[in-house]
Every structure is written in structure tokens, then in C-alpha cells.
Amino acid sequence: MTAEHIRDLPELPSDIQKIHIVGICGTAMGSLAAMLKTQGFDVRGSDAMAYPPMSTWLEDQQISIMMGYAKHNLDWNPDLVIIGNVVRATYEDAVAARERNIPTISLPEALRIFFLKNKKSLVITGTHGKTTTTSMLAWITEFAKLKPSFMVGGITGNFQSNYQIEDGEHFVIEGDEYDTAYFDKVPKFWHYQPFRATINNIEYDHADIYPDIEAIEHVFTRLVQLIPSQGSLWVNGDDSRAVKVAQSCTATVSTFGLGEHNDLRATDIAYDESFTTAQVSLRGEDLGTFKIPTLGEFNVRNMLGAIAIAMDEGVSVQHCKDALAQFKSVKKRQELIGVVNHITILDDFAHHPTAVESTVTALRTRYPNKTLRIVFEAKSNTSRRKVFQQDYPKAFALADEVILSKPWKKDTLPKEQLLDIDELHRDIEALGPKTSLMPNVDDIVDYLAKIAQPGDIIAGLSGSAFDGFHQKLLTKLKEKHNT
């Protein structure tokens, strides 16, 4: 459960030059390290594990990594320590920082202190679609020459980065409701000083943090109360929870979605193998046809959220259209890994049952007459818990074949709280798809390389690197077909 209030910041040195980051190899922490380095700070860090691509990327930025969480990591006497949310209070680096009275802050606090001051913060939130919507908005504002800074939870196709520091007045940021650090137990997005924000949707998630949906609604309610009266909030008007929490906002509140009651609405949605098109209207005024090179109804909603904030900041409709037509999706969002012998391999981040269902539906829409094989890893704090046991089966129903990997490790959760993978296997198969349960990634790769046929679509769904599944399969197929 989160705390009720943001803590008071510790007193910081007037002249900060050296910053140590504990847990530096996380995607967001590594990006923060690079952002700080661009600002002229001497940045170093420590982590339990360092492996490519993050380890090599940090080396390219000339940022030193110390292996393990040891007290001597702080012997270079940094002026400030930034602690990641994977770090526990008992880790030696964290203990040493307290013992030596070195000021300690979290990643969101660091963003607020070093990057959000004097910026107009545009915060994209919701259970699903944050990363894509943030990437869309960052690209639209870049295309419109607003010179935005941004930070997003994935590698954007248009920037080939998950951050940018520019001198424009806007900072576009993905607002996550997950908590922050062992000493800063509030949602990340409470720190981001939103001037404008979206709520894409609200569902139960992060079962390791929140006991129920009411707790999640509570933190979103507190978020919208942070928006100043001269700002704005756009919510998915087709999502009753988003509409409910918006009632606490004192800024202008508007809605986007597909229903006719929405202020910003998409209709006449159509797909081909590469693009989605939709007619968009704003309070009854036709804005014309928008085209995005991504598939799925959920991406239309993401597009609407990005358009809404961009237009509030004065971006023209035509700029929005032109930018979105050139949008390149985020890595691990229906990302094409490769095609071998007309067998297509895709990677997607989906792991919450709603995200899984949206992705499988989008792929079935995109490839209606092809064999769709879905490989799923239940590894995240969400997917490995039993709380979604009954929601997962229907999410896979449109696939031709589903392969479930075995649980990724011996889990510390009580057995009664863990997803029952055998039950999930049976329940998916009862809905129609051929379903298999395989012990490890190498077995899955060997199986698929043996049975895959030209025209097959193979999508690996996971909130992690999935033990290299996608590249292993690509390599195996290339060896088999001598390509």
C-alpha cells in the first residue's frame, strides 16, 4: 500500500557534482543516469547484475558500473544518492548512504528536482497504453517543433531512445502509479507536477502494491487534484472508473473515446496489414481522417489521448495528422523481430489480461487468415498472481495455438496466491486454441522451429526479456532454412 503524502525532500547540497545511482541497470534508472550526465554531473552507479544491452549502453555513455550492493561503492564520496525501487533498505549501499548522511532521493524525486522545474509537465497515465501514448505525444510535439523533453518507459521508434532533453517548455512523461522507493512509498506520478494529463483507463493492477481497485482509484483521484485550474485533464470517457476519479479535478475535464458522448471521438475505424484509419471529431466538428501505422482499437484510443493534449498546447490538427502518419511504434509493442521463410516473429509487452486480449485481438484482425501462435510468460508481479486466474483464458481465445512457459522461478509468494499454470492451460484449451505447457524457452524454440509453417505468426508476450526467446527463435529458424 502507498503512503498518503509525498515526503518532504531532504536538504540537498548547494553544489551537487557527483551522483551515485543504486540500481542503475534498470531501464528508467539507466536513462536517468544518462540524462544527468548530459546536464554535466559526474554519474556512477551500482547494481546486482549488469548485462547487455543496458550494461554496454551505460559504458557507451562513459558511466561506471560497480557490481553488487556494497558499502565501498560510496567510497568515491558522492554528493547525492538516487535509489531505485528494486533496492531494499537493508542493501549495503542504502545503509552506507544513511550512515554517512548522504542525501538520498528516488527517481521521480530526481526528475522533479533536475528536469521538471520550469517545465510544463504533460503526464500520460492509465493502466494500459501509457508508453505508446507518451511516445505519440512526444513525437507530435517534436514534429510541431516545440522541442519537447520527454521520458517514456520504452525505446521509441521515432527517437530510438526513451528520453530527450531539449530547451522547449514541455516535458512529456509517462506517469506510472507504481511506488517509488523504500523511503518514498507513493505513486511515481504524484511527483510529476502535472499541468495537463490523460487517464487512458483504470483497472486493477500491481497486486503486490495495491490491495484492491479502490486503492488504485484513490491514487488517481489524488493525482487529478494536483492539476492546476489553468491546466486540463482528458480521460477515456468509455471507462467508468476514469470518469469517476476525474470528478475531483478542478481543471477543465474533457473526454475521448469511441462512444458518441465523448468530446474527442473516433469513428469508422478500419485496418489493413500496416495501418489503422479513423474519422476523428471534436465536440461535433469533423477533424478529418487520421492514419497511424499501428494496429488495434486500443491504439486508436492512445492516439486520441495524444491528440487531445497536443491540441490543448496549440498544435494544429494538420500537424497531428502528419506526425501520426509517420509515427513509429515503441519496441516490444507488436515489434517485428524478423521474418524467416515467411514465418513472422513478433515481440509484445502484454502481460496484464486486458493487454493480452487487446494484443491478440489486434493480431487476429491484422492477420485474419494466418495461423496465430502465442507464447506467454507469466513472470511479472501482475501475471504470476492468481488474482487474474479467471481473466486470462478468454484473452487467448482468438489464437490458434498458445504455449505457456513454466513459472520463471521458485516464487516467494504463498502457493495459494500464485497463478495456477496447469489450470490456465486447461481453461485456454477448453476455449478452442491448441495449448501446451513447456518447461523452458529452449524447449519452446525447438518445438516452434520444428512445426512452424510459412505464413505463421508467432508472437511472444512477456513483461520481460523472456530469456531471449525471440532472438533464439529467429536464429534457430535461420539455421534451419539456411538464411
110, with CB counted inside 10 A (0-12, 13-18, 19+), is: buried
What does pLDDT average to over the chain? 90
From CA 20, how far away is CA 267, in angstroms rounded?
50
115-325, which class in CATH? alpha beta
When computed from its CA atoms, the radius of gyration of the chain, rounded to whole angstroms, is: 23
Quick check: 1 pLDDT over 60?
no
Per-residue model confidence (pLDDT) at position 354: 84
What are 199-210's pLDDT values in tens digits?
A: 998 988 777 778
For 238-273, the pLDDT digits (tens) are 999 999 999 999 999 999 999 999 999 999 999 887
Q: Give 391: exposed, middle or buried? Use CB within 10 Å, 0-12, 13-18, 19+.
A: middle
Closest to 328 in 3D by CA, of 457, 140, 121, 176 = 140
The 3 state secondary structure assigned to the chain is: CCCCCCCCCCCCCCCCCEEEEECCCCHHHHHHHHHHHHCCCEEEEEECCCCCCHHHHHHHCCCEEEECCCHHHHCCCCCEEEECCCCCCCCHHHHHHHHCCCCEEEHHHHHHHHCCCCCEEEEEECCCCHHHHHHHHHHHHHHCCCCCEEECCCCCCCCCCCEECCCCCEEEEECCCCCCECCECCCHHHHCCEEEEEECCCCCCCCCCCCCHHHHHHHHHHHHCCCCCCCEEEEECCCHHHHHHHCCCCCEEEEEECCCCCCEEEEEEEECCCCEEEEEEECCEEEEEEEECCCCHHHHHHHHHHHHHHHHCCCCHHHHHHHHHCCCCCCCCCEEEEEECCEEEEEECCCCHHHHHHHHHHHHHHCCCCCEEEEECCCCCCCCEHHHCCCHHHHCCCCCEEEEECCCCCCCCCHHHECCHHHHHHHHHHCCCEEEEECCHHHHHHHHHHHCCCCCEEEEECCCCHHHHHHHHHHHHHHHHCC
Cα–Cα distance for residue pair 20/77, rounded to 1 Å: 9
Mean per-residue pLDDT for 208-231? 92
Kindly report the CA angle at 443 between 440 and 444, in degrees rounded to 5?
85
For 405-421, what is the mean pLDDT?
Answer: 70
| pLDDT score at 51 | 63
Q: pLDDT tier at 410 (50, 70, 90 boundaries)?
A: low
Q: How far apart are CA 136 and CA 120, in angstroms?
A: 17
Task: Look at residue 319 in the predicted model and tell me its pLDDT.
Answer: 97
Segment 10-20 mean pLDDT: 94
Q: CATH 3.40.1190.10 occupies which residues in the chain?
A: 115-325
Is residue 155 predicted with pLDDT exceeding 80?
A: no
Identify the pLDDT of residue 183.
92
pLDDT at site 391: 85
For domain 335-481, the question of CATH label 3.30.70.1050 is answered with no
Q: Where in the chain is the domain with CATH 3.90.190.20?
A: 335-481
Q: Any idea how long the chain is? A: 483
| 333-349 residue pLDDT tens | 778 889 999 999 999 88
Report the range of poorest mean pLDDT among 50-54, 72-76, 80-84, 350-354: 50-54
Decide if pLDDT at 408 tops 70.
no
Q: What does the block give as the cell for 393?
A: 483464458
* CATH 3.40.50.720 domain extents, the chain: 18-106
pLDDT tens column, 326-337 = 999 877 777 888
Provide the b/e sequence for 158-195 (b: ≥16 CB within 10 Å): bbeebbbbeebebbbbbbbbebbbbbbbbbbbbbbbbb
Q: 129: which 3 cell numbers? A: 497504453
Which fold would CATH assign to domain 18-106? Rossmann fold (3.40.50)
Q: In angstroms, rounded to a whole number, what is the distance separating the alpha carbons of residues 379 and 408? A: 6
pLDDT in the model for residue 401: 95
Longest dimension (CA), the chain: 64
